[in-house]
Each structure stands twice: as C-alpha cells, then as structure tokens.
Amino acid sequence: MYKKQLVRNDEVAKMMSFISYLLNGLSLGSVYAIIALGYTMVYGIAKMLNFAHGDILMVGGYTAFIAFNSLGLPIPVAILVSMVVCTLLGITIEKIAYKPLRQANSLSVLITAIGVSYLLQNLAQLIFSANPKSFSSFVPLKPVKLAGGQLTISGETIVTIVTCIIIVAGLVTFINKTKAGQAMLAVSEDKGAATLMGVDVNGTISLTFAIGSALAAIGGILLCSAYPTLTPTTGAMPGIKAFVAAVLGGIGSIPGAFVGGIILGVLENLAKAYISSKLSDAIVFSVLIIVLLVKPTGILGKKIMEKV
Amino acid sequence: MMDRVKAEKQKIFRSNMITFGIVIIAYIVVELMMQTGNISSLFKGLLVPLCTYSILAVSLNLVVGISGELSLGHAGFMCIGAFSSATWSMLMKSSGMPEGMRFFIAIVIGAVTAAFFGFLIGIPVLRLKGDYLAIVTLAFGEIIKNLVNALYFGVDANGPHFSLEDSMHLNMDGGTIIIKGAQGITGTPKNSNFTIGIILLLIVLFVVLNLINSRTGRAVMAIRDNRIAAESVGLNATKFKLLAFTISAAIAGIGGALYAHNLSSLQALPKNFGYNQSIMILVFVVMGGIGNIRGSVIAAVVLTLLPELLRGLSDYRMLIYAVVLIFMMLCTSAPSWIQYRDRIMMSFKLKSTDGKENK
Amino acid sequence: MATLLKVDRLGISFGGLKAVDGFNVEIEKNELYGLIGPNGAGKTTVFNLLTGVYKPTNGQIVLDGDNITGLDCEAISKKGIARTFQNIRLFSQLSVLDNVKVGLHNTNQYSTLDGIFRTPKFRKVEREMDEKALELLKVFELDGYCDYKASNLPYGQQRKLEIARALATSPKLLLLDEPAAGMNPNETEELMNTIRLVRDRFDMTILLIEHDMKLVSGICDRLTVLNFGQVLKQGSTQEVLHDPEVIKAYLGD
C-alpha cells in the first residue's frame, strides 16, 4: 500500500514537472509570439524581413533597464519610455534605411536589414559594453503554488501569457475594426491600389513599424524579466527564433505569428527537458526546415502566385 | 560583328588574367617581404586567414551574385569542411601516409563533405524563394554549429563510435577520441601555409571564373535574372541553382579545411562558424560588389587587414562593417541614392574635362 | 496541310473560378494564328497552359502528334514550343548575345566540366553558338547591339530580342504575347514585317495574342476570339472580325 503510494507520487511529480515545462514553454512562446507579430506585420505590409527587429527588442531592454535601475522611474513609466524609444527607433530606421529601397530587389533590402541589426548590436556594445547587466524583473507578482506546492508558476509566466493574449486580441480588433487597421490590410494587398484609393501608404508603413517596435519593447521587457541577463546580443537569438515562429505560422498572418510562437516556445522547452538540452536549438530549426518543405507558406499562410 | 564578340571575349579573358595576376603579385611581394624579414608576426599570422576569407567570399559570391540567392549559412559549410578534413587528418596522423598526400586528401574530403551537405540542404531549400532561402540557410548553419558542439567521435579497434551525449556514451574500448563535443578537435596537424592558401585560392578562382563564363554559368545567371523566362527556354531552374549552391558549398568546405589545418585546436564557436561569420563573409561580398569575384577577394583582404593594422579601430570593426553594409546597399540599390551618386560623379567628370580644356 | 497543334477542351480553374473552359483550337503548320479577346478573357492563361506554367485541370494538348499535356516548362520547351511575354522578360544583366545563347542552351551542348577546363569541345561549341546567335540577331537587325546589356536596349528592340531568344530554342511553334504592346504605328508596321519574315524564313508556325486590330487583320490567317474564358468565335480573320457577336463583346453592351 505504501509502495503504491510512492509510485503514484512519482507519477504525479512527473506530471507536475511536465506541466511546469509546458507552462514555461507557453511563456517563452508568448514572448516569441509578441516579437513575431512585429516581423509578420512588417512583412505583410512592407514585404520585407526586418532582420533588425530582434535588436530593437534589445534596445527596449536596455532602455527599460536604464529607466528603472539608473533613473529610478516607476515600472509603468519605464515600460512606457522603453516603448516610446523603440517606436521612434523603428520609425527612424524605416525612414533612413528601408524606405529608399522600397523599389529595390529583396536581396538588397535583406542585406540592409542585416546591416541595421549589426549596427544596433555594435552600438549597444560600445555604449553598454559586452558585460551582461542583470535585469531586475518588472513583474511584481509572487509565484503561485498549486497542487500542494508541487507546481510553482512564476509571476512572469502568468503575466507574459496574459499579455500576449491581450496583444493578439487587441491587434486583431485594431486591424478589423479601425480605419488605420483597414488601411494596413489594403496596403498589404496592393500598394498601388491602396494609393489610388487615397490610403496614405507611407504613413501606414510607418505606423506598422511603430506598432511592431513598441511590441518589441514589451517583448524585450518580458524576456529580460524571465531571463534576467541583458547583453547587446540578447535580441539576436530570440529575434531569429521569433522570425522562425513567424515563418512557421505563415508570415504575414497575425494568428499565424501567435500559433507559430507558441508552438516554437513549447517545442523548445520540451526538447530541452526531454531530448537534449544541447540540441534544443538544432531541433527547433529542424522543425522550421521540415515545415517549410511540407508547407512552404507556413501553417496559416496564404499561397501567393507570381503573375506571368 | 564577330570581331565585336571576340573583343568582348578578350575583355573577359583580360579581366580574369588581371584577377589571377593580382593574387600572384601579392603572393610574390609577401614572399619577398618574408625572405627579407620585413614582416611582423601579426601580419604573418594573418596570411592563411586572408586566403581562407578570400576563398569563402568567392564561394558566397557564387550564390549571392551569380545565382541571386542569399545564403546566411555559409559558415556552416565551412564548419563541415573544417571538421571533416581535420577528423581525417587526425585519423591518419600516425598512419605513415606522406604529409602532402594526407593534406591533399583532407582538402578533398572537406570539399566533398561540404558539397554533400550543400546538395542535401539545397534539394528542398532551393524550391523556396528569396527570403525563405535566407532563413533556412541561417537555420541550417545554426543546426550544424549546434550538432558539432554536441558531437563526440572516437575510433577504437571496433571501428568508429558516435555520441551526442558525452565521451562516456561512446563506449570506447581504448582507442582515441577525436571530436570532444564543445572542446572540438585538438592536435590537428598544421599543414596549412600561405603558399598552399594561395594555390587553393587560384584554383577556386579558376573554377569559378570559368564556370561563370560558360554555358552553365550563363544558365545560372539567366535563371537569376528571370526564372520564368529561363524555364520557358528549357532550363531546369532548380537543377542549376542546386549546381551553383553545391559548388559554392564545396568551395566553402575547402576554405574550412584550410582554416582547420592552420590551428592546433578547432572548436565550433559562434565567432568562427556561427551566424556572425556568415555575415562577415556577406560583408566582403557586398563590399567587393555583388557578382564581382575579384572584388570579393580584394574586399576580404582589405576588410580583414584594416582593423588589424589600425589597432585603434578594432573595437569599431563590427560597427564599421555594419555601416559599410547599409551604405553600400543604399548606394547601389536605392533609386534616390543612385541619382544623387550619378549627379556627383557627373560633376566630377565635367570638372575633369574642364580642366583638360583649360590646358 | 498538316496540323501542328491540336488543343482539345482545355480548361483550368483557380479556386473554383474557371479562367479557361473548353478551349479548342487546331493550328496548321506554317500558319499565323491570332488569339484575341477583351482584357481578362484568359488569353495569357491559354499561353501559360500551352507552355506548362500552369497545369491544366482538364483537356489535352497535342503538338505534332505528341501529347504534351501536363508537362513542365522545361519539357515543353524541349518538345518545341517557345514564347515571348506580355511584360518583357529578358535576362536583363546579360548581354544581348548571351540572351540568345541562353536560348541555344539545349541545342548546343557541352558539359560543365568542359566549361571549367576550357576543353576543345568548349571552344568549338561556343564558336558555333556565337555564329548561330549572331545570325539570329542579324535577322532582327540587333547584331549591332550584340555587346549591349539587354536592359539597356530600347523598348522595341527588347521585344525583338525576346523573339530572337525564343527562336534560338528551335521551336516548332512560336507564341507571341502582345508583341505590339506599347509600340507606335510605325514600329507596329515594322513588327508586322518582322513576324512575316520569321514565318517565311524559319518556316515557323505562330500563335499570337494581340489587341492591335490593324496588326491582327494584317497578318493573321485565322482567329479565335476568347471571352470570359470560353471560345466565342473561330474562323478566318475577315469573317471573325465582322461577326456581330465579336463586335459586341469588344464594345460591350
């Protein structure tokens, strides 16, 4: 009888640790999703991969760090400052580096975006040095203990998942219900036609970059709250993975970015826990390659046909 | 009109000869400097890396410039070339095989293994277009780096053993462990030297330049310029893209072999085989002019030497690269910038002719 | 007269929309055949079906007794159909000569290794290609531009180069998609002469899409009128152009 109880306890513990990995995965996935939204919106509207998006996230992290730790601003203000800085940065980058290349081929735009990404990373390194800063969490919530203390859910996990759901719901409403959102849809369908219909294409593209960058700031703060080391390359890997998430879900699709982000985050955490911690990145990237081979447009992407 | 066609061919031939000439002259000058002892040890240490980077830049230019696809995983092919060739050299280290022969085979193994992976990843990936190709090659490069870092490989009397866990899982019965996970390979024979690097670079240039100016190269460039039109005249777009990609991977593998045999310890770090390295090679290609093979070599040399020679600059090295990348792309591809650039060029031309007339 | 192209009940739908439906046509050898119809009638889609850009959902295409239905572009080019495009598609970074030489890719061959090692075979075949390409360019009076970059050619010359490139593949059937688009009356007149010349000199069968009625009535032997993806009328040029139904389709109700 006692032995049986022990086996059951063991099973419960296994179950609890699985749930905990799953929740961590959902949390990480939510961060990926928030970042992926920026990638996907920009791709949908400007038809370009903004490689520097992950680095805007890093800038968001540093800004929040300075605002909170050095300037001693309250958390909501620090978040706001970080969002404003990232928004301005995003719009500036678009104006200076991407806008002149709107008619150029995609190779040139992609290389430029890589250049911008590098520029931000190296500027950050010059200003803040490569030494990691320890980021104090922006989430004041205490961990929640469930199942008699066997399952602990951190405040960051809860806040991240909830924030992500609010953002996705908000964005979908924004695009479907507001005039600016409809303008975005129009520009993503056909720039020329949108111009003829009186849509301010340049303004819409700027707005897209602004929203994407503000989201990156939130993503950066959430990421750094959960994984509290901040370096100039903090944004690089999550940026690439969020990009993978966007492609996985179907680039250009907002629900796709959400689905892709969640799948990727869960997959990464489960792979780390149950297969190999060293190979989790390889597994994540292999999934991307496989998905693209089976369905090149991603899970929720639309098929685009070239007109001959 | 045949004479104009011939003149055009002469022009290409002359241009190729200049490319070879530059490499050979640079070699002679450096050799003379070494004979007379007028060379710093810092510079001496850079000679093989210079050849390696030049080879890699040519390799990537074949994909980016000639085939018109962006690969962000070329460091991955370099990594494969480095590890496969170094493994061979370690295996044969005490076999009594002549050193030259062993190194030659090592380079061939590096090229063939990288080509094999290039082919393997190319089959599915080259069906994708543009941006997707960039991200998949990036993913591929990260996978390779990740796998190599986790790989343990050893040989004993029972044959080869692999593990992705640790050296215990190899279940070795004596024998030697060659690849030790993140520690990589230590004790690779230092077979690379400047002369071999230059010879390899010349061979690579010979292959690539002749390839470009042949029926195959024309087909690859036609597909780059207009895939649909190329298919309409009976070209198999996937086949030619795959061919260019595979050859490029093989060349990157050669670069990797050269790199590996210049170091006694080989590790797959983000710095040498990661995304950063792929980007650095891309900077060489962009700076030298996309599609310009000679430019790639020159850019690789200049951009590697400059930060090393101007020590004060080395902190800003990556920053400068980033600015160069953005600036070059805007100058060559942004219509407004091109207009501005042409206006400036025009005013220079006018000034110089004015000057002549005044004389 | 022998039939070169026989198309039977050809159709394709995109997500339920029948872009082309029940398209039939029979083209004789050495004929100059016109395909006309209002914008959006599905003319270019027919070309895309014939050349393998799209796979037909139903129907059959027989070229010179060979069933080529469902083959891809590359295979169809090898079977002997060449085309030009409505929006010119040249190899813009290549020279004018090289554009034509790419067209010769499948008729004059040597291996990649021959190319890399500059073997005697490479030299011989390259020389043959140069000669053939120049000869073709001469027909279109483009030989003087042979070392120009294709994108630097004037518009009219670009159209001609596209035809020369298509002919380089030694096709049995040549498809021209709006060859006179964007040309002034003088240029169109010149183009008509060129098309006739191509037919006579290369013993070519030509199917062309055109909106310029002067060109159509001037050179086409027979016509098919397409409207809403279906054949509206077929027959000799004069007969078709004077048909009240055709006039109505063009002018609208």
pLDDT of A197 strictly over 80: yes
The residue assigned the tokens 């796709």 is A256
Per-residue pLDDT band for A307 (boundaries 50, 70, 90) equals low
* Lookup: tokens for B184: 């990589």
- Sign, Cα dihedral of B345, B349, B352, B358: negative
| pLDDT for res B43 | 86
d(CA A15, CA A29): 20
Which residues, 6 or more positions from B124, have their beta carbon under 8 angstroms from its beta carbon? Answer: A289, A292, A293
Which domain covers residue B275, as residue numbers?
51-279
Decide the pairing of beta strands C81-83 and B265-266: unpaired
Q: Report chain A's terminal Cα–Cα distance, integer Å.
A: 75
| pLDDT for res B348 | 77
Taking contacts as CB-CB distances below 8 angstroms, the residues of chain B near C117 are: 210
Whether B144 maps to a domain, the answer reads yes
Whether B252 maps to a domain, the answer reads yes
Whether C115 maps to a domain, the answer reads yes
In angstroms, the separation between the Cα of residue A196 and the nearest Cα of chain C is: 21
The answer to whether the beta carbons of residues C45 and C12 sit under 8 Å apart is yes
Mean pLDDT computed over A132-149: 82
C84 touches chain A (CB under 8 A): no
d(CA B328, CA B253): 28
* Per-residue model confidence as pLDDT tens digits over A245-262: 988 888 888 899 999 999
* Per-residue model confidence as pLDDT tens digits over A39-81: 999 988 888 888 899 999 999 999 999 999 999 899 999 999 9
Taking contacts as CB-CB distances below 8 angstroms, the residues of chain B near A308 are: 228
Residues C66 and C179 placed together within one structural domain of the fold? yes
| pLDDT for res B357 | 41
Q: How does DSSP assign B277-308, residue by residue?
A: HHHHHHHHHHHH-TT-HHHHHHHHHHHHHHHH
Q: For this complex, say whether ipTM is above 0.95.
A: no
In angstroms, the separation between the Cα of residue C114 and the nearest Cα of chain B is: 9
* Per-residue model confidence as pLDDT tens digits over B43-60: 889 999 999 999 999 999
Provide the number of structural domains found in chain A: 1
Per-residue pLDDT band for A191 (boundaries 50, 70, 90) equals confident
**DSSP H or E segment with residue B177:** strand B176-180
Mean pLDDT computed over C27-42: 92
CB burial of residue B87 (10 Å; 0-12, 13-18, 19+): buried
Mean pLDDT computed over C134-144: 93
Residues C44 and C74 placed together within one structural domain of the fold? yes
Which domain covers residue A124, as residue numbers?
2-294
Residues C40 and C64 placed together within one structural domain of the fold? yes
Taking contacts as CB-CB distances below 8 angstroms, the residues of chain C near A308 are: 44, 48, 53, 85
Whether C233 maps to a domain, the answer reads yes
Q: How does DSSP assign C74-110, residue by residue?
A: HHHHHHTEEE--SS----TTSBHHHHHHHHTTTTS--
Which domain covers residue C126, as residue numbers?
92-168
d(CA B141, CA B123): 16
Residues C177 and C73 placed together within one structural domain of the fold? yes
The answer to whether the beta carbons of residues B193 and B50 sit under 8 Å apart is no
Taking contacts as CB-CB distances below 8 angstroms, the residues of chain A near B335 are: 100, 103-104
Helices and strands counted in chain A (H then E): 11, 4
Whether B237 maps to a domain, the answer reads yes
Provide the number of structural domains found in chain B: 1
Provide the number of structural domains found in chain C: 2
- What's C141's DSSP letter? T
Mean pLDDT computed over A273-299: 84
List phi, psi (to 5°) of A129.
Answer: 65, 165
In angstroms, the separation between the Cα of residue A182 and the nearest Cα of chain C is: 25
Mean pLDDT computed over A213-232: 93
Residues C65 and C175 placed together within one structural domain of the fold? yes
Whether C87 maps to a domain, the answer reads no
pLDDT of A3 strictly over 70: no
Which residues, 6 or more positions from C160, have their beta carbon under 8 angstroms from its beta carbon? Answer: C140, C141, C142, C194
- Sign, Cα dihedral of B262, B267, B272, B273: positive
Taking contacts as CB-CB distances below 8 angstroms, the residues of chain B near C79 are: none
Residues C249 and C186 placed together within one structural domain of the fold? yes
Whether A307 maps to a domain, the answer reads no
Query: CB-side exposure of A115: number of CA atoms within 13 Å?
Result: 27
CA B157 to chain centre: 37
> Per CB distance under 8 Å, which residues of B are interface residues toward C?
1-2, 4-5, 7-8, 206-207, 210-211, 213-219, 221-222, 224-226, 228-236, 243, 291
* Per-residue model confidence as pLDDT tens digits over B235-249: 999 999 999 999 999
Among the ranges A152-161, A269-278, B154-163, C51-60, which has the highest mean pLDDT value? Answer: C51-60
| pLDDT for res B355 | 46
Q: Mean pLDDT, chain A, as a whole number?
A: 88
Out of B215, B225, B233, the one facing C94 most closely (by C-beta) is: B225
* Per-residue model confidence as pLDDT tens digits over A10-41: 888 888 888 889 999 999 999 999 999 999 99
Whether C86 maps to a domain, the answer reads no
Rounded-to-5 percentages of helix, strand, coil across chain C: 40, 25, 30
C13 touches chain A (CB under 8 A): no
Nearest to C98 by CA among B205, B13, B228, B9: B9
Taking contacts as CB-CB distances below 8 angstroms, the residues of chain A near C53 are: 308
Among the ranges A87-91, B146-150, B320-324, C139-143, which has the highest mean pLDDT value? Answer: A87-91
The residue assigned the tokens 């072999």 is B257
Interface test with C, best of B215, B290, B333 (most C CBs within 10 A): B215
Whether C253 maps to a domain, the answer reads yes
Out of A111, A123, A240, the one facing B319 most closely (by C-beta) is: A123
Whether C85 maps to a domain, the answer reads no
Whether A299 maps to a domain, the answer reads no
| pLDDT for res A130 | 85
The three-state secondary structure class of C66 is strand
- Cβ-based neighbour number of residue B355 at 10 Å: 9
Q: C126, C148, C168: which is the final residue of a domain?
A: C168
CA-nearest residue to A236 within chain B is B275
Nearest to B230 by CA among B213, B218, B242, B244: B218
Residue B34 to residues A217, B44, C52, Cα–Cα distance (Å):
54, 8, 62
| pLDDT for res A222 | 93
Q: C168, C188, C218: which is the final residue of a domain?
A: C168
Q: C152, C168, C184: which is the final residue of a domain?
A: C168
CB-based contact A104 B333, cutoff 8 Å: yes
The three-state secondary structure class of B271 is helix
Write out residues in chain B with pLDDT < 70, as ranges. Answer: 129-130, 311, 314, 350-359
Of A78 and A287, the one with more pLDDT? A78
- Cβ-based neighbour number of residue A38 at 10 Å: 31
| pLDDT for res B358 | 41
